[in-house]
């Protein structure tokens, strides 16, 4: 299995690398050949040099740490909050009856539109950023938790009743193990979202981190640095996703959805 | 009592069918019940809130601020501009996504070559492309369209690719044995078979398109809902910010409902609604 994966990976990497390389070379040659027309489109080598410089000076590293820390903090809060809300919605008919529609109305609210409200309440601070991240990334956890609870087979609940399990026992032995996998799948989706929203919030709300670095480089008319931030943000996304996949696969080996 | 909400309801004794009007009334009633906490919150806010509060102005001031904006002729053009950008970008992204996704799904070699490059572009948070495009393309409608298309492209592309890969071989054989031409093959076989995947992609892409459109307007202050929101925030006009938030919320809600309606209409002939 593993060797098969590796072989597939090797074959994939070769032609894909060649394509990426060709594209980059075409970009480089194109920019150098038409140096006067693309004032703000730097060549890949220039981007690489600027990125290297910004990494060595610690600027991009510091910004990346800020963005990842905020995304993780917001994500942790959103996961717990989302799991709690999801459980309440799934297991209390009263909560479901009275809160479901209200939540459905709030869900499609775009996260960006929420930034000005958060700025009014918290100013241009890290609280604004984390509030917006929580607001945006709580939904996948709620939706997945509710879906997981709906998928509990009625027979399981019947079994619990037959065995005269107490409420606590039922929760610990049956409901949690049955629902948590879906909650975790939701949490995995929302971590990717948290990173994106962190960047958005930094662009218009909290002047710090990668998002702000990107906007600042644009406003200072430094295309090399701006593309450096772009590459760093993309690489961070890929890296975070890979780390997440490994961590979750190790922590929860039973959940198939998060290992793909 | 701890039971999942969807647990089968106990059968009603007697089992007599109730007229549909009661069901409709039930639905309306349950929707109203679901809205109760929101309505209660807004009412409490209205009654207890101070209309001069710089942070939590009550809902009546939101409405007043929105009416002001409408009278000064800002609000409706802004909504229309944003709607126009989002709609145009969605149409463009759908045609591009279906084209590229179809090619990639049909050709494994192309998928192998382009896959990782596209994968990197896809994981790039779409908002990051806004400052880059503003610098290279300049602050204009083309740039806005470009960034929205860039964000909305991937869900459609990915879903189309997956749809093409999961086409049943019988369909391809049927096309061959009927000796259909290219056009007939596209319109009679591939498009209908791919339509559900494509429309799912569009549904995912629509909220993204709204987000990126608003962000582009906020960052560049190009006319639109995003710019109005940001200006209201910069003027510390909390009532207007909350009012515009409800406008943006309804905008997203209505666009999603419209797409859902379109989806069920388009899929009706296939009986997949």
- Residues A103, A53 share a domain: yes
Cβ within 8 Å, pair A200-B123: no
Q: pLDDT confidence of A81, banded at 50, 70, 90? A: very high
Distance from CA of B26 to the nearest CA of A (A): 12
Output the pLDDT for position A2.
47
- Residues A197, A91 share a domain: yes
CB B117 within 8 A of CB A19: yes
- How far apart CA A164 and CA A4 sit, in angstroms, is 49
CB B34 within 8 A of CB A98: yes
Q: Both tokens of residue A166?
A: 């107490």
Which ranges of chain B would DSSP assign to H, the alpha helix? Answer: 20-48, 59-71, 75-106, 108-123, 129-136, 141-165, 169-177, 182-184, 191-220, 225-234, 238-266
* A106 in contact with B, Cβ within 8 Å: yes
CB A46 within 8 A of CB A224: yes
- Residues A182, A62 share a domain: yes
Q: What is the mean pLDDT of chain B?
A: 79
Q: How many Cα atoms occupy the beta-carbon half-sphere of A4 within 13 Å?
A: 1
C-alpha A175: how far from chain center: 27
Q: Is the pLDDT of residue A3 over 70?
A: no
Output the pLDDT for position B15.
45
- Residues A13, A129 share a domain: no
Nearest to B229 among A104, A116, A171 (CB): A116
Highest mean pLDDT among A133-137, A160-164, A200-204, B201-205: A133-137
Asked if ipTM goes beyond 0.90, one says no
Output the pLDDT for position B75.
81
Task: List CB contacts of B60: < 8 A, sequence separation 6 or more.
Answer: B46, B51
- How many residues belong to chain B? 273
- Residues A230, A129 share a domain: yes
A217-230 average pLDDT score: 82
Q: Is the pLDDT of residue B146 over 80?
A: yes
C-alpha A135: how far from chain center: 13
- Residues A62, A32 share a domain: no
Q: Is the pLDDT of residue A1 over 70?
A: no
Residue of A nearest to B41 (CA): A102
Q: Is the pLDDT of residue A258 over 60?
A: no
Q: Is the pLDDT of residue A259 over 60?
A: no
**What percent of chain B is predicted at pLDDT more than 70?**
89
H or E stretch covering A123: none
**What percent of chain B is predicted at pLDDT more than 90?**
4
Q: Is the pLDDT of residue A187 over 80?
A: yes
Distance from CA of A252 to the nearest CA of B (A): 24
The number of C-beta contacts closer than 8 angstroms across A and B is 187
Cβ within 8 Å, pair A203-B232: no
Output the pLDDT for position B91.
92
A81 phi and psi angles, rounded to 5 deg: -60, -45
Which ranges of chain A would DSSP assign to H, the alpha helix? Answer: 2-33, 44-56, 59-91, 93-106, 111-122, 126-150, 154-162, 167-170, 176-204, 209-219, 223-251
- Residues A162, A250 share a domain: yes
The DSSP call for residue B10 is: P
Q: pLDDT confidence of A73, banded at 50, 70, 90? A: very high
Degrees to nearest 5, angle at CA B265 with B261 and B269 = 155
Cβ within 8 Å, pair A157-B4: yes
The CATH number given to whatever domain includes residue A89 is: 1.10.3720.10
Nearest to B135 among A149, A175, A223 (CB): A223
- How far apart CA B273 and CA B271 sit, in angstroms, is 6
- Residues A98, A1 share a domain: no
Structural domain count of chain A: 2
- Residues A141, A71 share a domain: yes
Q: What is the pLDDT of residues B18-62, one digit of tens each?
A: 666 677 677 777 777 777 777 888 888 777 777 677 777 777 777
Q: Is the pLDDT of residue B142 over 80?
A: yes
Task: List CB contacts of B199: < 8 A, sequence separation 6 or more.
Answer: B259, B262, B263, B266, B267
Q: Is the pLDDT of residue B158 over 80?
A: yes
Largest CA distance in chain B: 75
Output the pLDDT for position A38.
62
Q: pLDDT confidence of A150, banded at 50, 70, 90? A: confident
Q: Is the pLDDT of residue B215 over 50?
A: yes
- Residues A117, A101 share a domain: yes
Nearest to A105 among B4, B38, B207 (CB): B38
Q: Which domain holds residue A121?
A: 45-259
Q: What is the pLDDT of residues A100-141, one digit of tens each?
A: 777 777 777 888 888 888 888 887 888 888 999 998 899 889
Q: What is the pLDDT of residues A87-97, one digit of tens each?
A: 888 887 777 77
Output the pLDDT for position A74.
92
- Residues A178, A205 share a domain: yes
Output the pLDDT for position A12.
52
Residue B253's nearest CA partner among B200, B210, B202 is: B210
Full set of structural domains in chain B with CATH? 68-270 (1.10.3720.10)
Q: What is the pLDDT of residues B258-269, one digit of tens each?
A: 888 888 888 777
Task: List CB contacts of A13: < 8 A, sequence separation 6 or more.
Answer: B116
């Amino acid at each position: 299995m593993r060797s098969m994966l590796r072989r597939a990976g090797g074959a994939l990497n070769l032609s894909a690398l060649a394509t990426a390389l060709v594209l980059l070379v075409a970009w480089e040659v194109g920019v150098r050949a038409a140096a006067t027309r693309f004032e703000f489109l730097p060549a890949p080598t220039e981007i690489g040099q600027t990125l290297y410089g910004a990494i060595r000076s610690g600027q991009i590293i510091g910004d990346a740490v800020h963005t990842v820390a905020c995304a993780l903090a917001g994500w942790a809060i959103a996961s717990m909050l989302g799991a709690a809300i999801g459980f309440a919605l799934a297991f209390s008919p009263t909560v479901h009856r009275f809160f479901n529609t209200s939540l459905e109305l709030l869900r499609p609210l775009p996260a960006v539109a929420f930034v000005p409200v958060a700025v009014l309440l918290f100013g241009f601070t890290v609280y604004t950023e984390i509030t917006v991240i929580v607001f945006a990334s709580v939904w996948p956890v709620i939706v997945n938790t509710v879906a997981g609870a709906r998928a509990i087979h009625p027979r399981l609940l019947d079994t619990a009743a037959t065995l005269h399990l107490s409420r606590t026992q039922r929760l610990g032995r049956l409901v949690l193990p049955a629902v948590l996998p879906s909650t975790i799948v939701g949490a995995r989706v929302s971590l990717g979202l948290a990173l994106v929203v962190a960047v958005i919030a930094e662009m218009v709300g909290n002047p710090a981190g990668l998002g702000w670095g990107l906007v600042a480089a644009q406003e200072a008319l430094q295309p090399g640095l701006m593309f450096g931030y772009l590459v760093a943000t993309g690489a961070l996304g890929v890296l975070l996703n890979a780390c997440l996949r490994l961590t979750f696969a190790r922590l929860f080996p039973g959940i198939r959805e998060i290992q793909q | 009592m701890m039971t999942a909400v969807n647990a089968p309801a106990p059968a009603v004794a007697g089992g007599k069918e109730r007229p549909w009007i009661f069901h409709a009334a039930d639905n309306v009633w349950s929707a109203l019940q679901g809205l109760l906490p929101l309505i209660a919150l807004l009412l409490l806010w209205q009654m207890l809130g101070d209309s001069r509060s710089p942070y939590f102005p009550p809902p009546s001031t939101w409405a007043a601020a929105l009416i002001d904006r409408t009278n000064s002729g800002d609000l409706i053009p802004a909504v229309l501009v944003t709607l126009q950008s989002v709609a145009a970008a969605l149409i463009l992204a759908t045609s591009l996504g279906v084209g590229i996704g179809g090619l990639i799904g049909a050709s494994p070699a192309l998928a192998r070559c382009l896959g990782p490059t596209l994968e990197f572009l896809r994981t790039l948070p779409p908002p990051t492309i806004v400052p880059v495009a503003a610098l290279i393309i300049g602050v204009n409608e083309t740039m806005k369209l470009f960034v929205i298309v860039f964000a909305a492209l991937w869900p459609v592309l990915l879903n189309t690719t997956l749809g093409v890969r999961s086409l049943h071989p019988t369909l391809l054989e049927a096309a061959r044995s009927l000796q259909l031409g290219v056009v007939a093959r596209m319109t009679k076989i591939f498009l209908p078979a791919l339509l559900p995947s494509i429309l799912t992609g569009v549904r995912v892409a629509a909220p993204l398109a709204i987000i990126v459109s608003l962000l582009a307007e906020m960052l560049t202050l190009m006319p639109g809902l995003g710019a109005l929101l940001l200006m209201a925030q910069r003027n510390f006009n909390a009532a207007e910010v909350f009012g515009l938030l409800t406008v943006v919320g309804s905008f997203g809600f209505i666009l999603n409902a419209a797409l859902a309606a379109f989806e069920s209409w388009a899929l009706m002939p296939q009986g997949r609604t």
